Amino acid sequence: MSISDEFLDFIAASPSSYHAAHEVARQLEEVGFVRQDEAAEWSAAPGGHYMIRGGAIMAWFVPEGAGKHSAFRIIGSHTDSPGLVLKPTPDFDAAGWQQVAVEIYGGPLLHTWFDRELTVAGQVVTKDGVHHLVNTGPILRLPSLAIHLYRKDEFKPDRQHNMQPVLSVGTPDASVLRVVAESIGVAQDEISAFNLITADAQRGAVFGTGERFIAAGRMDNLSSVFASLVAMRNAAQQKDYGHEDILVMAAFDHEEVGSASRFGAAGPILADVLGRTGRALGANEEERYQMYARSCCVSADAAHSVHPNYAGKHDPTHHPIIGKGPVTKINGNQRYASDATTVSLWERACERAKVPFQRFVGNNDVPCGSTIGPITATRLGIDTVDVGVPMLSMHSAREMVGERDQVWMAKAIEAYLLG
């Protein structure tokens, strides 16, 4: 199977952050990683370990000989993507149609969500306390208003009134929660609570002549999660990688809404893993701070490729483009955590992997976004660099990256982990 097919399988298996975390865990278990119970004694035994908290997964590999003299080599990403989150009471009727009440999650390009078949995916908790993963398959759609009824120059949907998907028509007893319940084999009244989001139901595809592209939903930021997974999986199977640092894969949830949650980069999850691992290796508080001072982090999130129809939105001297390798993201106002030390660290890893690289700096008139990088660096004081594959249509229901860039990203991360 090609790396692109494997990537598309991963995206298809990850319609929500909860699914992405469990799919990462499943693949890591195949190479010997074992699940760590947060309520049990912490293990830093040689080998691979992981824990899942909500839609986030933390995985760490402890090499033979690791101890309080070691450092952490962290690769950070996030499992969530923009979409439409189901409200607690989602079913309602309008004009003879049965619809689903949703809340807009993050910053999706709203017009791209119209006229697509949508699945409902995420986590359901039943009254017996059991957690279920849900993926209904295509059941919803946001139909566009015909142009004959909309004569304005630009389509700007009202976020409250125009973004509610249809489920059925002329069927007053239709219920999205009934469909969800049936998909996990329980009665509707057994559902206690849920965290459910919509996702494009169409499978991703590879296309193009010459340079090959990948089109799919949720590549911001499953492109980085997958590249990190491949790199972590490969690095953990190396018999000897020449150092005794602990390798850490941190895939957070809720980045698209600010990261301020128990599962997000602004929460305690990464600090918990690093601190407890350090203690399990015999490090006291002072020695754990010393471990942090020796550590480094690559914050991997999608980067902006130059758009040929909007080239003026980019800085005139920095033109990253699909097909030319991973992008180092730099911002003088600290929207990214990269500095000279960490840029050099990352780009040396690219050179070891024989991977081309590019740099992104924003146009002064077009403010850039941010990532988990500055949050992680600020909370833990660990040297951090921001990187990502160049992408077009970011935050669309269906985004676009380069096939070679995705392969190169995994190779560069692996080189960084192996040192």
How many angstroms separate the CA atoms of 93 and 33, rounded? 47
Q: What is the pLDDT of residue 134?
A: 98
Dihedral angle sign, alpha carbons of residues 152, 155, 159, 161? positive
- Strands in 330-389 per DSSP E: 358-360, 383-388
Name the nearest CA neighbour of 93 among 172, 179, 164: 172
Q: Which domains does the chain carry?
A: 1-79+216-416 (3.40.630.10), 81-198 (2.30.250.10)
> What's the pLDDT tens digit per position in 351-381?
999 999 999 999 999 888 899 999 999 999 9
Residue 281: other Cβ atoms inside 10 A: 19
Q: Are strands 205-207 and 191-200 parallel, antiparallel or unpaired?
A: unpaired
- Strands in 25-169 per DSSP E: 34-35, 47-53, 56-62, 72-78, 83-94, 97-105, 117-126, 131-141, 166-169
What does the DSSP assignment read for 259-280? S-STTSTTSSHHHHHHHHHHHH
- Decide if pLDDT at 257 tops 90: yes
> What's the pLDDT tens digit per position in 35-79?
999 999 999 999 999 999 999 999 999 999 999 999 999 999 999
Residue with tokens 């893993």: 273
> What's the pLDDT tens digit per position in 191-208?
999 999 999 999 999 999
Is residue 99 within 8 Å of 164, Cβ to Cβ? yes
> What's the pLDDT tens digit per position in 306-347?
999 999 999 999 999 999 999 999 999 999 999 999 999 999
Q: What is the pLDDT of residue 25?
A: 98
pLDDT range class, residue 240, cuts 50, 70, 90: confident
- Decide if pLDDT at 396 tops 90: yes
How many angstroms separate the CA atoms of 17 and 54, rounded? 8
> What's the pLDDT tens digit per position in 151-192?
777 788 999 999 999 999 999 999 999 999 999 999 999 999
Which carries the bigger pLDDT value, residue 368 or residue 222? 222
What integer best gives the mean pLDDT of the chain? Answer: 96
